[in-house]
Chain A
Amino acid sequence: MKKRQNYALALSTVVLVCCAALILGQKVNAAGEGKITGTVKLDGPAPHMRGIDMSKDPYCSKAHATDPGHLETYVASANGGLENVVLYIADWSGAATTSTAVPVFDQKNCMYTPHVLAMDVNETFKVQTSDQTAHNIHPLPNPMVNVGWNQSQPPGAPPIEKSWKAVEVIPVKCNIHPWMNGWFVVVKGPYATTDSNGAYTINGVPPGSYTVTAWQEAAGTQNQKVTVAAGGSATADFTFKAK
């Protein structure tokens, strides 16, 4: 019962915050958009990432002859910067992002580049292949939330353009190469993904108070409250512990 009360409390907080953001957003629409920046770090040494045996497909093992493939659950730089963390505004109530750049998910050397692709709800993204071996691109959403599909991408296949209708973290796999796994992170509003140094910038944030969420595929999510001034820049740094 307490759990339910907590839920009710959380829900009403979210609703209140949303309303507040809506009112705030309307007031300051004319003012310049700000941004949220920061760095995501990994606490302690990066866990060992197991190597991948690609001998099943000679094309793949040849592509990794000098640089053996390994899992990408945690990709950290020498100074602890954590890559592939998605940052978004949990209590976003504004319009959809108006970015003109189309997010691209590439199948390269039998791995997904990027390993994590973030996108807005209903934003068009592109799936392409750079490989000379056949892949099938198979996202596995919860059928109650988003509708999954499964399409082949043999060598030279044309890119596929798709979008997702609801917020969800969707695992992606290739059945032909069982080690290939990636993520589509569908969020509402502006988002950013950390680079190889763990740095990120969420652009196009109207002034107001927000909850920034950082999502890491294995370590989970963390939240932080920030206030963005008109045309200003707020900072939110995160530190994850490897699980």
Chain B
Amino acid sequence: MPTRLRKWSLLLGAAAFLMLPLASRAQLTTYDLNTRIGMESHVGNITGHAKDAKGDYRRYCVVCHGELGDGNGEVATWIDTPMYAKPRDFQLGVFKCRSTPTGTLPTDQDLFDTIARGLDRSNMPQWSTFTKQERADLVAWVKHYSPRWATEKPGTPITIPAEPEVTPERIKAGRDVFARVQCWKCHGVAGMANGPSASTLTDDLGRPIAPFNFTDGTRPKCGDTDRDIYRIFMTGLDGTPMPSFADNIKPDEAWDLVFYLRTFMSQKSKEKEMAKQLGLKPVDPNAPAGQQ
């Protein structure tokens, strides 16, 4: 009898073990992935091939981003939000740093830039140690994780007009934009990430996330040139609470806002000096809309 029981329980156990993959949430298998291994990327005149990135990914990326690209690598559990962002789930095809409008796929160049730049305040370092070819291959590899690239095309990158000269008038105008679209709701009136809504923010997967603090000397996640900052608020950071302001800020006003945001940053800048001379005060959150 005991042997029989043991046999049965063994059999049941084996059956349950075999059923496990069915119960798990994973929507993707290595079989699916192999069907997409032919994925390519095009960055400038370089063509990247997913199949060539396998070794680099296994060696450098898999520990965070995971075998299936779902952001569940073995160290992912130890990365705590909101201090550090969790590794991206490549299967979803949702990316923060894009030159394309909200709700569209990024371009190959966007992914290439993110790999090279790294993401400040996260565990994603700058991978400028890779050659351009290796980086392009990795872009193709990242793309092969999401079925979205099979059915959708990347969005059309937004047009960024040439940067105008900084003037005190533009900084003042930027302050008006800051007040009108109410950036301070999350980022705070002085850009210190302490707006009334800052503490309740969550990302698309429900994990706590903090708004960018302009004053602590760190860099914005998607780049710190003036053009990067322009792009960040006009495209939004998909997957996070940061929306796109493309419908509500005109291109010229957008440059004004970039200049005003610079006045918060701890780094020395022309904008900071001008704001000091102007004696600019933070916006008043209690002023009625349109009256600053």
Contact = CB atoms under 8 A, between A and B. Distances in A.
B103 interface: yes
B247 A157 contact: yes
B241 A152 contact: no
A51 interface: no
B197 interface: yes
Nearest to A150: B243
Interface in A124-150: 132-134, 136-138, 140, 143-144, 147-150
Contacts of A132: 288-289
Interface size class on chain A is 20 to 34
Given A149-B102, A154-B182, A178 B200 contact: yes
A108 interface: no
B93 A150 contact: no
B258 to A, nearest CB: 16
A149 B197 contact: no
A58 interface: yes
B243 A136 contact: yes
Contacts of B196: 56-57
Contacts of B91: 144
B180 interface: yes
Contacts of A150: 102-103, 236, 238, 240-244
Given A143-B94, A144-B92, A177-B197, A133 B182 contact: yes
B12 to A, nearest CB: 14
Interface in B225-259: 236, 238, 240-248
Contact of B247 (A143, A147, A160, A178): A160
Contact of B289 (A149, A155, A175, A176): A155
B147 interface: yes
Contacts of B104: 147
B279 interface: no
Given A148-B238, A157-B248, A176-B197, A143 B243 contact: no
A53 to B, nearest CB: 11
Given A143-B148, A144-B27, A148-B94, A58 B197 contact: no
B244 A149 contact: yes
A152 B245 contact: yes
Contacts of B289: 132-133, 155-156
B290 interface: yes
Interface residues of B, number: 37
A151 interface: yes
Residue from A132, A176, A178 with most neighbouring chain B CB atoms (10 Å): A176
A176 B204 CA distance: 14
A158 interface: yes
B201 to A, nearest CB: 6
B103 A152 contact: no
Nearest to B19: A1
A233 interface: no
Contacts of B103: 147-150
- Mostly, the A contact residues are loop
Nearest to A134: B182
A115 B210 CA distance: 28
B152 interface: yes
A193 interface: no
B245 to A, nearest CB: 5
B185 A176 contact: yes
Nearest to B201: A175
Interface string A146-174: 01111111111110100000000000000
A96 to B, nearest CB: 20
17 contacts: A57-B196, A58-B286, A143-B148, A149-B102, A150-B103, A150-B241, A151-B236, A151-B243, A151-B244, A151-B247, A152-B236, A152-B244, A154-B248, A155-B180, A175-B197, A176-B241, A177-B197
Given A138-B243, A156-B289, 19 more contacts: A56-B196, A57-B197, A140-B204, A143-B93, A143-B94, A144-B91, A144-B147, A144-B148, A147-B103, A150-B102, A150-B236, A151-B246, A152-B181, A152-B243, A154-B182, A158-B248, A176-B182, A176-B197, A178-B197
Interface of B: 27, 91-94, 102-104, 147-148, 152, 180-182, 185-186, 196-197, 200-202, 204, 236, 238, 240-248, 286, 288-290
The 7 A-B pairs at the shortest CB distance, nearest first, are namely A149-B103, A175-B241, A134-B182, A136-B243, A143-B92, A152-B243, A178-B200
